[in-house]
Amino acid sequence: MQTSTLLAFLAGSLLINTSLQAQSRTVKTTSTRTVTKTSTVPPARLPEFSIPRAEVESHIRFIASDELEGRRTGEKGNWTAARYIAEQFRLLGLKPAGDQGDYFQRINFEKVKAAMSATLLLGKDTLHAGKELVIMAGGPTDLSGEVIYVGYGLTDGEDGYKGRDVKGRIVVAQGGSPEAKGPGEIFGASRNKRKIAMDKGAAALIELYSESIPWGFVNQYFSREQITLPTESNTGKPITHLWINNANNQYKQLKEAGQTVTLRTSGRPQSTVVSANVAGIIEGTDPKLKNEYIVLSAHFDHVGVGKQGGSPYQASDSIFNGARDNAIGTVAILEAAKALSLQRPSRSVLVLALTGEEVGLLGSKYYSEHPLVPLKQTIFDLNTDGAGYSDTTIISVIGLERTGAKAEIEAGAKAFGLGVFGDPAPEQGLFDRSDNVNFAAKGVPAPDFAPGFKSFDQEIGKYYHQATDNPESLNFNYVLRFCQAYAHTARLIANRPTRPQWSSGDKYEPAAKALYTQE
Ligand SMILES: [Zn+2]
């Protein structure tokens, strides 16, 4: 699961929170259908009822081991985890669903490191990277000259580029846009500005930042490495692009003609880093329903080692093992893959281990744009990802009331003595903080099946994105039952005669209508 600060930048959900909260309280569920068993095997003899605890434990102890160094996207430990998962799929006889006849869906990510140094000389002032300015993009630069102000830098109008020749010049623009409110919009406007400035031949772009995200967050975030999916705006060498903290309008002179600045920076080193989602298929047994898929997804990446982790750590343990986040979920899909391949359900199942979650839900974003089975035949995604657990009598399901499979989820949990808690910590906007949201955005009903918690309490905080999230600290009796409940729930949904539907009026319902009615 992603941290809220990262989320704030990438998804804008600090602002979505309140509407989500309201929504989850007002939308009435329509999912009270009874569970229909199409299997003739008595439930207790289904393979998920005899998963050995030692098997769950050994998978977790490997995936969350120190040797895998926090499984950071694109790094060796991340690939080792992907390889381990792929070989488990092979052992279980899953059909490879990857892009080269194997289990891997390879993704080329862009990795941009923080600028080592940058200064902007402006009259008597010197602004420094990590203090008054952040470098957003660009290579090494040493530039001097008069600036030219272009308003928001988004139009060719009077208040934009009209009548201004910016070729080879240092362009200054106001931060954000007249419409931009959330972080996503502010960053989107910023990328547009850079593209426009580049198209017009500018040498550099300075934005005067005074938007809603506090400068401290901005500064902290861009002082670290970022990993992104390649887009048009970050292919090719970008110009030097910086934000300066203009919260108190202290640099308003940059809007005036004739101002001269000197800009020096080491730039942000940029490279390509490859990682992969891991995907395998279990074919359904029903001649008709096997053309429909349910996705069982879990991210296997985590945040890495030391400073990469983004949280304080002790010298004695600098590895962010991510046992809870998300080795548990990864093993839940492995055990579900095993149970469902031993006793296949009516519908087909795509087992999907996702990379790039912690760096912005990128593996699932990429998958949703490059699906390995058609999305319109994908009727449900049962994602599993969690922040940890503080109640071993329950599982927690984010989106329980919205995604139309409440009955199966409750039955799946009950079979292993667990209750279900719907929508924990609504203030956290969790629905939009894990990979399920990228399926939801395409219209696929997609809850997140998480270990038991009701709020972000002390027990959650003790391990969530901390180096202490080690396998040794897990209650494996609970983890086993969690995995079993997940596998059984997956089976019940895959065997349902009808597809789960979004609750009426849900914000993702229109996307579902568009997806499932297309030719
Ligand atoms: Zn996480």
Tell how far the Cα of 462 is from the centroid of ligand 1, in angstroms.
14
- pLDDT for the residue numbered 40: 64
Query: DSSP for 295-355?
Result: EEEEE--B-EEGGGGSS--BTTB-EE--IIIIIHHHHHHHHHHHHHHHS--SSEEEEEEE-
Tell how far the Cα of 361 is from the centroid of ligand 1, in angstroms.
10
Tell how far the Cα of 189 is from the centroid of ligand 1, in angstroms.
27
pLDDT tens, position by position, 120-139 = 999 999 999 999 999 999 99
In this predicted structure, the answer to whether residue 177 has a pLDDT above a threshold of 70 is: yes
In this predicted structure, the answer to whether residue 159 has a pLDDT above a threshold of 50 is: yes
Tell how far the Cα of 324 is from the centroid of ligand 1, in angstroms.
9
Q: What is the average per-residue pLDDT within 405-414?
A: 98
**Rounded Cα gap, residues 151 and 182, in angstroms:** 20
- pLDDT for the residue numbered 96: 98
Among 25-39, 363-377, 472-486, 492-506, the range scoring the smallest mean pLDDT is 25-39
> Does 427 or 339 have the greater pLDDT score?
339
- pLDDT for the residue numbered 232: 52
In this predicted structure, the answer to whether residue 22 has a pLDDT above a threshold of 60 is: no
Q: What is the average per-residue pLDDT within 197-226?
A: 90
Tell how far the Cα of 300 is from the centroid of ligand 1, in angstroms.
10
Tell how far the Cα of 2 is from the centroid of ligand 1, in angstroms.
4
> Does 231 or 424 have the greater pLDDT score?
424
Tell how far the Cα of 360 is from the centroid of ligand 1, in angstroms.
10
Among 269-283, 417-431, 437-451, the range scoring the smallest mean pLDDT is 417-431
Tell how far the Cα of 3 is from the centroid of ligand 1, in angstroms.
6
Inter-residue contact 199 to 21 (CB < 8 Å)? no
In this predicted structure, the answer to whether residue 48 has a pLDDT above a threshold of 80 is: yes
Tell how far the Cα of 387 is from the centroid of ligand 1, in angstroms.
7
Confidence of residue 223 (pLDDT cuts 50, 70, 90): confident
- pLDDT for the residue numbered 295: 98
pLDDT tens, position by position, 269-311 = 989 999 999 999 999 999 999 999 999 999 999 999 988 888 8
Tell how far the Cα of 392 is from the centroid of ligand 1, in angstroms.
20
Beta strands 204-209; 170-174: pairing state:
parallel
Confidence of residue 406 (pLDDT cuts 50, 70, 90): very high
Confidence of residue 4 (pLDDT cuts 50, 70, 90): low
* Residue of 358, 518, 384, 504 whose CA lies nearest to 439: 384
**Rounded Cα gap, residues 271 and 268, in angstroms:** 10
pLDDT tens, position by position, 432-441 = 889 999 999 9
Alpha carbon separation from 32 to 6, 382, 491 (Å, rounded): 36, 18, 18
Confidence of residue 27 (pLDDT cuts 50, 70, 90): very low
- pLDDT for the residue numbered 396: 97
Tell how far the Cα of 140 is from the centroid of ligand 1, in angstroms.
33
Tell how far the Cα of 358 is from the centroid of ligand 1, in angstroms.
5
In this predicted structure, the answer to whether residue 37 has a pLDDT above a threshold of 60 is: no
In this predicted structure, the answer to whether residue 9 has a pLDDT above a threshold of 80 is: no
| Helix-helix angle 476-494:406-414, to 10 degrees | 140
Q: Quickly count helices (H) and strands (E) in the chain.
A: 13, 20
- pLDDT for the residue numbered 306: 87
CB count, 10 Å around CB of 138? 24
- pLDDT for the residue numbered 519: 64
**Rounded Cα gap, residues 134 and 184, in angstroms:** 18
Tell how far the Cα of 330 is from the centroid of ligand 1, in angstroms.
13
User: Which string of b and e fits 267-286 if b means at least 16 CB within 10 Å?
Assistant: bbeeeebebbbbbbbbebbb
Beta strands 348-354; 270-282: pairing state:
antiparallel
The rounded mean pLDDT for the chain is 90
**Rounded Cα gap, residues 149 and 164, in angstroms:** 9
**Rounded Cα gap, residues 104 and 116, in angstroms:** 35
Confidence of residue 382 (pLDDT cuts 50, 70, 90): very high
> Does 371 or 24 have the greater pLDDT score?
371
Share of the chain above pLDDT 70, in %: 91
In this predicted structure, the answer to whether residue 14 has a pLDDT above a threshold of 90 is: no
Among 33-42, 174-183, 304-313, the range scoring the smallest mean pLDDT is 33-42
Tell how far the Cα of 306 is from the centroid of ligand 1, in angstroms.
15
Among 25-34, 466-475, 499-508, the range scoring the smallest mean pLDDT is 25-34
Three-state DSSP at 198 gives helix
In this predicted structure, the answer to whether residue 79 has a pLDDT above a threshold of 90 is: yes
User: Which string of b and e fits 436-447 if b means at least 16 CB within 10 Å?
Assistant: bbbbbbbbbbbb
Helix %, strand %, coil % of the chain (to 5) = 35, 20, 40
pLDDT tens, position by position, 458-470 = 999 999 999 999 9
In this predicted structure, the answer to whether residue 212 has a pLDDT above a threshold of 80 is: yes
Tell how far the Cα of 379 is from the centroid of ligand 1, in angstroms.
26
pLDDT tens, position by position, 483-509 = 999 999 999 999 999 999 999 999 999
Tell how far the Cα of 383 is from the centroid of ligand 1, in angstroms.
14
Q: What is the average per-residue pLDDT within 233-255?
A: 87
Containing H/E element for 413? Answer: helix 406-414
In this predicted structure, the answer to whether residue 35 has a pLDDT above a threshold of 60 is: no
- pLDDT for the residue numbered 39: 53
Tell how far the Cα of 163 is from the centroid of ligand 1, in angstroms.
48
Instruction: Give the number of residues written for the chain.
Output: 519
Confidence of residue 181 (pLDDT cuts 50, 70, 90): confident
